[in-house]
Amino acid sequence: MYEGPLQRLIDELSRLPGVGPKSAQRLAFHLLSVDEADVRRLGAAISELRDQLHHCSRCFNVTSGEECSICLDPRRDQTTLCVVERPQDIVVVEKTQEFRGRYHVLGGSLSPIAGIGPSQLRIPELRDRVPAESIAELIIATNPTVEGDTTAMYLAREFKPLGVKVTRLASGLPVGGDLDYADELTLGRALAGRMEI
């Protein structure tokens, strides 16, 4: 419908979550009208995202180094792991200032319907980490959804027989939503009141 580069940008933008064809068109025309330096900076930020960032080799958080700053911090409790679905959930838990251990990012949650089993997530890596790092407690902070609950129950079944304490955030979190829908206070309380599963 539009000139090649403009149409390509609209097509790419409309593939982003939450961006429909109308918003994509609006954004594309906006980028066409602003300062060239601004657009180049945006383009550079997008390229650098994939060039300079990758996953922490230990916990799969996003990092520019081999391991992330949390894994490398010697002051953090080495025996407790908070298990989350996505790297951005780490930021949410960190904001509560209630957790001083380290993390493990699964990369999603179990969903038999969508064909996502344990090996599609970083559960095999967790299975390696727990004995290698003498982990005593796993705090499961998956989203309060059916998939998040299924994942929590699965992890409890897997790791409790190994003598690991497996806990889940206390209720009070908005059901069916993402972890980041919860405010810091609610999440902090849920963390402090976590229960063994």
- 121 belongs to the binding site for Zn ion (CB under 5 A): no
Q: Is the dihedral angle over the CA atoms 85, 86, 90, 93 positive or is it negative?
A: negative
Rounded to the nearest 5 degrees, what angle is found at the Cα of 119, between the Cα atoms of 115 and 125? 150
- 68 belongs to the binding site for Zn ion (CB under 5 A): yes
- 58 belongs to the binding site for Zn ion (CB under 5 A): yes
> In this structure, are residues 145 and 168 in contact, taking their beta carbons and an 8 Å threshold?
no
Give the separation between CA 67 and CA 142, rounded to whole angstroms: 22
For the CB of residue 57, give the shortest distance to Zn ion in the complex, in Å: 8
For the CB of residue 93, give the shortest distance to Zn ion in the complex, in Å: 13
- 84 belongs to the binding site for Zn ion (CB under 5 A): no
Stretch that binds Zn ion, among 4-12, 19-27, 71-79, 111-119 (CB under 5 A): 71-79
Q: Look up residue 70 and give its amino acid.
A: I
Q: Residue 111 gets which letter from DSSP? A: B
For the record, the structure tokens of 178 come out as: 């993402």
Give the separation between CA 143 and CA 106, rounded to whole angstroms: 12
- 82 belongs to the binding site for Zn ion (CB under 5 A): no
- 61 belongs to the binding site for Zn ion (CB under 5 A): yes
CA atoms within 13 A on the CB side of 18: 0
Stretch that binds Zn ion, among 26-34, 70-78, 80-88, 90-98 (CB under 5 A): 70-78
Stretch that binds Zn ion, among 69-77, 136-144, 158-166, 174-182 (CB under 5 A): 69-77
Nearer to Zn ion, 55 or 160 (CB): 55
Nearer to Zn ion, 56 or 191 (CB): 56
List the x/- string, 6-45, binding to Zn ion by CB under 5 A: ----------------------------------------
For the CB of residue 45, give the shortest distance to Zn ion in the complex, in Å: 23
Nearest of 139, 145, 140, 138 to residue 178 by alpha carbon: 145
Give the separation between CA 86 and CA 104, rounded to whole angstroms: 9
Site residues (vs Zn ion, CB under 5 A): 56, 58-59, 61, 68, 71
